[in-house]
Structure 1
């Protein structure tokens, strides 16, 4: 199985278009050792050059496809290696890119939970709009149900579980989350038995989530904020990381502590990194702390072979 990180940033990308925090200003000025990033998405294939599954469709999807030739194999006058799309939530940075896939010659195969479908038909009616173009062949993701397959990618199986996080701001249950607003996904290669756990939005870790992480060969999990008060300290928000559904990396009960409990064999990666997070600075003490803990920071174009 090959996982390609198409985008590794949180919403807004890095640098964010209207932000002049230390990270964004430093990257633009060339005074910060860091890499630009697009909004988070991964592409999973059973092997190199095979069709695969797109997890989340960010607003940057067209640039991501142009940058990764594997997604455009050129076998016909209209072609794509995207056999289907799986949404982890209904957030703008994970669903707006569906608009950019409207030129398909057949309905877009899309897997999402019932709450996400509701939000994308009502609060942000992406799916209704696509009905005027290619259409959508929506498949229901069951929570804690049996594993499912995506046609054309038979060597991989996918199993979802509900996560504690937040629904999109336009969702009617933004402040009263329901199961299925956010999911984590275990992706397993049927041939080798090796697996990855993917959860770009993760507000807390309960025993079931930790068991899924511990059972995987690689985990790609929420790397949005370093501290719980990161946005408050910068004067950019009045809400903590946990308030908006993201477990910070540092501090007691933070992501670094949880990842440290995983088996030594587990490859540990952070994805969906906010532009304010000091781990983007490759010379920062926070980045050094992650390296010492054996935790990687995802960057666009990274490939993980399992």
Structure 2
């Protein structure tokens, strides 16, 4: 089974359209060593023709153009996107669904009941799609493994993450299991597994166990410092208040990953402010010394 990183940036992408931080400005001017990145999403396949998207970012059209396999051209109208699995109802993970409205059949959609509710009553993406292709909805439950028809040898297990629902959620101040999930991806043929969690604010016993069992970790790389956004004048919120565990500092993601036996440890969902985007920076060198990779658009992982 193959995992393809469609987008490796956090919300807004890199560079972010309205940001002139040192990273975004430096990339535009060509004065730093860094790569542009689209917003976070991955795709899974067994046969290179049928793909499951995990999240549908606002950059989905650019991501489709970058991966010819998502357009296998078997008919006058065709797509390699066989299904979409949503990790949460955040704007940067779901609004790409609207770009798939020209399908000639209902879009197979896998999500928790909480995410379906948020996209029906808060950000009404699903209501809009019903006027176009429609959706074929499949409820998934944290703690209950399932398979997809086109990924029959792959077992997927949603795992509850501790975080808030989006601001537009009807239960924003009343968190429920299923608002945000991580995903264990088990290839039954090889016995290898990955754990994907682009947003991770704290480690529960269940999450830590899933991380310890994984051969590949694709994990929250949003911020380098707890006060990163505040120090740069970009926000008044800390990383924790935004639902993310920073890489540096006591108890940070570097310390967490140091105790994990995974063969590959990869940071994904990287905010435009994060210094690890600079390929020749001290922060990137420190990650390298700890055996930690930084995801980039187009990265491929075989399980």
TM-score where L is the length of structure 2: 0.98
Match of 2:185 in 1: 187
Match of 2:226 in 1: 228
Match of 1:71 in 2: 70
Q: Structure 1 regions of 5+ residues with no counterpart?
A: none
Rounded to whole Å, the distance in 2 between the matches of 1:166 and 1:273 is: 19
Match of 1:259 in 2: 257
Match of 1:291 among 280, 288, 291: 288
Match of 1:208 among 206, 209, 215: 206
Q: Deviations over 1:18-37 (max 9, x none)?
A: 00000000000100100000
Match of 2:58 in 1: 59
Match of 2:275 among 271, 275, 278: 278
CA distance 1:89–1:79, shift in 2 (3 Å): same
Deviates more, 1:34-43 or 1:79-88: 79-88
Match of 1:90 in 2: 89
CA distance 1:175–1:224, shift in 2 (3 Å): farther
Give the superposition deviation at 1:40.
Answer: 0.5
1:92-111 alignment, distance < 5 Å: 92-111=91-110
Rounded to whole Å, the distance in 2 between the matches of 1:287 and 1:180 is: 33
Give the superposition deviation at 1:266.
Answer: 2.6
The alignment covers a number of residue pairs equal to 303
Match of 2:2 in 1: 2
Q: Over aligned residue pairs, what C-alpha RMSD do you find?
A: 1.0
Give the superposition deviation at 1:42.
Answer: 0.3
Classify the secondary structure of the residue corresponding to 1:210: helix
Q: Deviations over 1:241-287 (max 9, x none)?
A: 10011111111111111010011x43100000000000001111111
1:166-185 alignment, distance < 5 Å: 166-185=164-183
Match of 1:112 in 2: 111
1:35-54 alignment, distance < 5 Å: 35-47=35-47, 49-54=48-53
Match of 1:155 among 153, 162, 170: 153
Poorly superposed stretches of 4+, deviation over 2 Å: 172-177
Give the superposition deviation at 1:169.
Answer: 1.7
